[in-house]
Structure 1
């Protein structure tokens, strides 16, 4: 008999990749590139989404 695995609630906006580093194109004095860390505004950097029933319960 097949076993069902619980599905992970991955954020639909970022597909679980909640934080990324983007290079600005400029170089720092030591020669490395300057980067910006950007997090997903939907899941706020967690990579997981909150079930819809919990979001609507607060209204």
Structure 2
């Protein structure tokens, strides 16, 4: 299947991986692990950064 390509550059802080799961070492009653989902603060979980023109327009 063809992939859709965007021209938006990846976020510098997360490198395009905006959400990660970190295990706490604890387990639920069913045996599955307790995970924390962490979202990149710089891109708010999108994985892309805004173009420079959009950033300067906000100010």
- The bucket for the TM-score relative to the shorter chain is 0.7 to 0.9
Structure showing greater radius of gyration is 1
2:3 aligned partner: none
Number of residue-to-residue matches in the alignment: 54
Identify unmatched segments of 5+ residues in structure 2.
1-5
Q: Under a length normalisation based on structure 2, what TM-score does the superposition of the two structures give?
A: 0.83
Over 2 Å off, 4+ runs: none
Task: Decide which moves more: 33-42 or 49-58.
Answer: 49-58
Confirm or deny: 8 A CA contact 2:23 2:35 kept in the other structure. yes
Q: For the residues of structure 2 that align with 1:48 and 1:36, how far apart are their CA atoms?
A: 22
Identify unmatched segments of 5+ residues in structure 1.
1-5
